Amino acid sequence: MPADGTRPLAGRAVWPVGFGCMGISWAYGPAMADDDAVRLLHRALDLGYRHFDTAALYGGGLSETLLGRALVGSRDEVLIASKVGLFARGGARGIDGRPETIRAGCDVSLRRLGVDHIDLFYLHRLDPEVPVEESVGALADLVAAGKIGAIGLSEVSAPTLRRAVAVHPIAAVQTEYSPWSRNAEIAVMEVCRDLGVAFVAFSPLGRGVLAGRIDDPATLDRSDIRRHMPRFSPANWPGNRDLAGDFASLAEVWGVTPAQLSLAWVLSRGPHVHAIPGTTSLAHLAENAKAGVLEVPEDVIDRIDWLFDPTAVNGPRYPADVQAGIGTEEFS
């Protein structure tokens, strides 16, 4: 890893804490006002964020549009990542990994972002009706055309990654990863390291739980997707709240915030690992950025590993209908 703390991603050296742009326009309550979102993204640039991750899914493209607006004049300084192949219509999610959909989706994302190429373009979900070789082949054509710089995959298994790499080099795999979502440790994180693929952890703060920012899921906005996730249900939440409390106590003893401890733990898993927390708060934005320089003592890592043994967390990551579209290995 370079002495300046940056890590390689899609041919660039970037700060290991990137910015996940989902929450500015979708998923965790009402979208931010456009001008507020742009100010937040400008502040992220000021703080040294250089990896910005968005997707066509987020706000029906609004996240891409806002990111493009915020990066005017700064395009050459940043790595832009976006995703294609997952959509939401009428409250229902759908997956479409057909080559024609990927090609058309890329063109739409380029227009929204206002750029002539996207540095890292992910297949957002593996389409069970389309062989991964076909989807990656379409992405490879986009690389050859100069529309994207590198290919990524999201929420895929280790065997799927190996099949994809046989078609074209894969720059990154993105999946949910934090102390309370450790399924990537089953196989795909190790395979990424072996193949020279970056591992990008989304939701590295446990959907906000490990940042100490959720007391009662019942108080979340009605549009917040966490209200429908099993770990936030009345049956599962009390045990998970207690785990989060123990984690916060550990952070206090070490002298950092819970969010910083969670991010530092994620980044400690290997030099190929990146984290992309999201926030709508200027204060939290600065707090998260500082985690990139923290080195977690081994005894603290051991304590977190013990505390968040995968069997200790109550409930699966997703409801059954959403889980059906997830390709990653999962604990029993």
Q: Is 58 a catalytic residue?
A: yes
DSSP string for 137-175: HHHHHHHHTTSEEEEEEES--HHHHHHHHTTS---EEEE
Q: Please report how many Cα atoms fall inside a 13 Å half-sphere around the Cα of residue 128, on the Cβ side.
A: 7
**Residues near 195 by beta carbon (within 8 Å), at least 6 away in sequence:** 161, 162, 165, 170
For residue 181, the surrounding DSSP H or E stretch is: none
Give me 162's structure tokens: 């190996």
CA geometry: angle 231, 275, 67, nearest 5 deg: 100
For residue 113, the surrounding DSSP H or E stretch is: helix 99-113
Q: What are phi and psi of 320, to 5 degrees?
A: -60, -40
**Which one of the listed residues 28, 58, 177, 318 is annotated catalytic?**
58
Give me 273's structure tokens: 């690992």
Question: Do the strands 198-202 and 273-275 form a parallel or antiparallel pair, or are they unpaired?
Answer: parallel
Of 255, 122, 260, 247, residue with least CA distance to 197: 122
Coil, strand, or helix at residue 273?
strand
> Which long-range contacts link 278-282 to residues 24+ away (Cβ below 8 Å)?
278/19, 278/20, 278/21, 278/22, 278/23, 278/24, 279/23, 279/40, 280/23, 280/24, 280/32, 280/36, 280/37, 280/40, 282/40, 282/43
Question: Do the strands 51-53 and 19-20 form a parallel or antiparallel pair, or are they unpaired?
Answer: parallel
- Catalytic positions, written as ranges: 58
